[in-house]
Amino acid sequence: MKKRWIVIIVWVILLATIGIVIAKGKKGALSSLQPSFVPVQKLLEEAAQDEAGGDKLKAKQAYQEIILEYPDYDKIEEIQNKLGNLNMGIIFSTLQTPQSLMHQVEPGDSLGKLAKQYGTTKELIKRSNGLKSDVIRVGQKLRIWKASFSVLINKSQNILILKSGQEVIKMYHVATGREDKENATPIGIFKIASKIPHPVWFKAGSAPIPPESPENELGSRWMGFDVDPHYGIHGTIHPRMIGEHATAGCVRLTNPEVEELFDLLPMGTQVTIQN
C-alpha cells in the first residue's frame, strides 16, 4: 500500500509541477536517498516551527520540498496529509496569497453575487472571513479565493486529487464503483451540475429516504454530474468502505471530507475521472 501511495504522489507531482525535473535515474535516485533522511528531519523541524509561529506559507514550502526531493521517505503519506491539511487551513483563512484578493463590499453586493463574480462559493467566502451569516455591509473588506478548483479521480487507486490552478491542494481516499460493468464509475470529463446539502435519497423501488435516516447512503452532501445526474460525489454511512470498489458508480468520501469539498467547489467545477 505504501509503495502504491508513493507512486501516486510522484505521478501527481509530475502532472502538476511545471519546470521541476524530478527524474534523476530510478536506480541512482533511490540509492542516493536510502542512507539517511537527515535533511527531511531538518525540514520537518523547520515546518513545525514555522507553523507554530504562524508562518503557514513558509511551512508549506518545507513540506513541498520534502515531497519533491524525498519521495522515497518512509512517512511520505504522513507528509502529504500534513501538506493537504495545511493547504486547507490557508484556503479557509484570512491569509493573503497570490491566489486571493481583497474585495471591498459595495452597494448591491451579496455573498451570492460575489461568489458568482469570482467563481467561488458562498460557503468559502463565509469561512475565510469568519462570517456567521449571509449578511455583509457596505465598506466591509472580504478576502476572496480567486483561483479555480478542479478534481481528478483515479479509479484504480481510489484517490481524489483536489487542485487549485495547477497546484495539488489535497488528496483524498474515496470509494468508487464495484468492479462490474453495471456498477462501474463512469470515465470522462464532467462538471458539477447540482449541489445539495443533506440530500434525500431516492432509492429505486423504495420510498424516498430522508437526510436524517441512518439508511441514507448519500451521507451529508451530494454533488451531481452534468452528463448523467444519477452519478456524483457524495458522503457515506459506510466510512470503513472508503478505499474500496464498493459503490453503484458514484464517488464516496467520508462526510467531513465531502463537506469540506462541498464548501470549496462551485457549480461548474471540472471533474476528470480516469482508470
pTM comes to: 0.84
Q: How far apart are CA 155 and CA 161, in angstroms?
A: 11
Q: CA angle 145-259-124, nearest 5°? A: 20
DSSP code, position 174: -
Instruction: Domain ranges for the chain, please list them.
Output: 2-91, 100-145, 149-274
234 tagged catalytic: yes
Who's near 92: CB < 8 A, 6+ residues apart? 124, 127, 128
What CATH superfamily classification does 100-145 receive? LysM domain (3.10.350.10)
Domain 149-274 falls under CATH 3.40.50.2300: no
Cα-to-chain-centroid distance, residue 121: 15
198 tagged catalytic: no
Q: How far apart are CA 232 and CA 202, in angstroms?
A: 14
Written as tens digits, the pLDDT of the chain (275 aa) is 544 544 455 445 444 443 333 333 433 444 444 445 678 999 999 999 999 999 999 999 999 999 999 988 989 999 999 999 999 999 999 999 999 999 999 999 999 999 999 999 999 999 999 999 999 999 999 999 999 999 999 999 999 999 998 899 999 999 999 988 788 999 999 999 999 999 999 988 888 999 989 999 999 999 999 988 889 999 999 999 999 999 999 999 999 999 999 999 999 999 999 99
Q: How many separate helices (H) and strands (E) can be counted in the chain?
A: 8, 12
Q: Are 96 and 45 in contact (CB under 8 A)?
A: no
Is 1 exposed, middle or buried, given 0-12, 13-18 or 19+ CB atoms closer than 10 A? exposed
DSSP code, position 147: S
Grid cell at residue 209: 429516504
Q: How far apart are CA 204 and CA 206, in angstroms?
A: 5
Grid cell at residue 153: 479521480
Among 103, 198, 230, 234, the one annotated catalytic: 234
- Reported in sequence order, the residue ranges of the chain that DSSP labels E, i.e. its strands, are 100-104, 141-145, 149-154, 159-164, 167-173, 176-177, 188-197, 221-225, 232-234, 245-247, 251-252, 270-274
